[in-house]
Amino acid sequence: MGWQSQVDFFHKAIKLSPTGGIDAVVVNAGTTDTHSTFERSHSLDAGTPPEPNLLAFNVDLVGVLYTAQLAIFYLPRNARSESVGLSSDSEAHRHD
Protein backbone atom coordinates (compact mmCIF):
# COMPACT_ATOMS: atom_id res chain seq x y z
CA MET A 1 0.00 0.00 0.00
CA GLY A 2 1.53 3.29 -1.07
CA TRP A 3 1.25 6.65 0.65
CA GLN A 4 -1.70 7.97 -1.36
CA SER A 5 -3.67 4.74 -1.02
CA GLN A 6 -3.26 4.93 2.76
CA VAL A 7 -4.32 8.59 2.80
CA ASP A 8 -7.38 7.62 0.73
CA PHE A 9 -8.12 4.77 3.15
CA PHE A 10 -8.08 7.16 6.14
CA HIS A 11 -10.36 9.60 4.31
CA LYS A 12 -12.79 6.75 3.55
CA ALA A 13 -12.69 5.60 7.19
CA ILE A 14 -13.51 9.12 8.39
CA LYS A 15 -16.37 9.37 5.90
CA LEU A 16 -17.84 6.02 7.00
CA SER A 17 -17.27 6.57 10.74
CA PRO A 18 -20.43 7.19 12.81
CA THR A 19 -18.45 9.76 14.82
CA GLY A 20 -16.93 11.43 11.76
CA GLY A 21 -13.41 10.77 12.93
CA ILE A 22 -10.74 8.19 13.63
CA ASP A 23 -11.01 6.72 17.14
CA ALA A 24 -8.17 4.20 16.99
CA VAL A 25 -5.50 2.97 14.60
CA VAL A 26 -4.05 -0.53 14.64
CA VAL A 27 -1.11 -1.26 12.39
CA ASN A 28 -1.03 -4.76 10.97
CA ALA A 29 1.39 -5.17 8.11
CA GLY A 30 3.30 -8.13 6.93
CA THR A 31 4.31 -10.08 3.92
CA THR A 32 6.48 -13.03 3.17
CA ASP A 33 8.89 -12.86 0.34
CA THR A 34 10.14 -15.90 -1.51
CA HIS A 35 13.26 -14.12 -2.74
CA SER A 36 16.19 -13.04 -0.62
CA THR A 37 16.71 -9.32 -0.11
CA PHE A 38 20.30 -9.67 -1.25
CA GLU A 39 20.98 -11.62 -4.41
CA ARG A 40 24.38 -12.81 -5.46
CA SER A 41 25.35 -12.25 -9.03
CA HIS A 42 25.32 -15.53 -10.92
CA SER A 43 28.44 -14.52 -12.78
CA LEU A 44 31.63 -12.84 -11.64
CA ASP A 45 31.65 -11.12 -15.03
CA ALA A 46 28.43 -9.16 -14.32
CA GLY A 47 28.93 -5.45 -14.97
CA THR A 48 26.55 -4.19 -12.28
CA PRO A 49 25.20 -5.66 -9.07
CA PRO A 50 21.57 -6.81 -8.94
CA GLU A 51 19.11 -4.45 -7.27
CA PRO A 52 18.07 -5.67 -3.80
CA ASN A 53 14.51 -6.95 -3.37
CA LEU A 54 12.86 -4.52 -0.92
CA LEU A 55 9.27 -5.80 -1.08
CA ALA A 56 9.16 -7.10 2.50
CA PHE A 57 11.01 -4.02 3.79
CA ASN A 58 8.58 -1.67 2.06
CA VAL A 59 5.50 -3.47 3.37
CA ASP A 60 6.75 -4.33 6.85
CA LEU A 61 8.51 -1.06 7.70
CA VAL A 62 7.58 1.71 5.28
CA GLY A 63 3.88 0.80 5.40
CA VAL A 64 3.93 0.86 9.20
CA LEU A 65 5.64 4.27 9.20
CA TYR A 66 3.04 5.62 6.77
CA THR A 67 0.24 4.41 9.05
CA ALA A 68 1.90 5.89 12.15
CA GLN A 69 2.26 9.27 10.41
CA LEU A 70 -1.40 9.24 9.38
CA ALA A 71 -2.49 8.24 12.89
CA ILE A 72 -0.46 11.09 14.41
CA PHE A 73 -2.12 13.47 11.97
CA TYR A 74 -5.74 12.29 12.12
CA LEU A 75 -6.31 11.05 15.70
CA PRO A 76 -6.14 14.53 17.30
CA ARG A 77 -8.61 15.83 14.71
CA ASN A 78 -11.45 13.67 16.06
CA ALA A 79 -13.58 16.19 17.94
CA ARG A 80 -14.95 13.47 20.25
CA SER A 81 -11.53 12.18 21.34
CA GLU A 82 -9.79 13.26 24.50
CA SER A 83 -6.20 14.37 24.33
CA VAL A 84 -3.69 12.00 25.88
CA GLY A 85 -0.45 13.49 27.14
CA LEU A 86 2.71 11.68 26.16
CA SER A 87 5.91 12.13 28.10
CA SER A 88 9.45 10.93 27.75
CA ASP A 89 10.02 11.70 31.43
CA SER A 90 11.11 8.53 33.22
CA GLU A 91 9.05 9.51 36.28
CA ALA A 92 5.87 9.32 34.18
CA HIS A 93 6.53 5.62 33.50
CA ARG A 94 7.62 4.64 36.99
CA HIS A 95 5.70 1.85 38.73
CA ASP A 96 6.22 1.87 42.50
Does the residue 87 lie in any domain? no
> Higher model confidence: residue 17 or residue 84?
17
> How many domains does one find in the chain?
1
User: Residue 95 domain-assigned?
Assistant: no
Q: Does residue 37 belong to any structural domain of this protein?
A: no
Tell me the per-residue pLDDT of 9-68, one tens digit each, with 9 for 90 and over: 999 999 999 889 998 999 887 777 777 766 676 777 878 887 888 888 888 889 899 999
Residue 63 domain-assigned? yes
Residue 90 has pLDDT above 60, yes or no: no
* Statement: residue 5 has pLDDT above 70: yes
pLDDT score, position 4: 96
Residue 30 contacts residue 59 (beta carbons within 8 Å):
yes
pLDDT (mean) for 63-85: 84
Q: How far apart are CA 82 and CA 85, in angstroms?
A: 10
**Contact present, 13 and 20 (Cβ < 8 Å):** no
Residue ranges making up the domain that contains 61 = 1-32+49-79
Alpha carbon distance 96, 10 (integer Å): 39
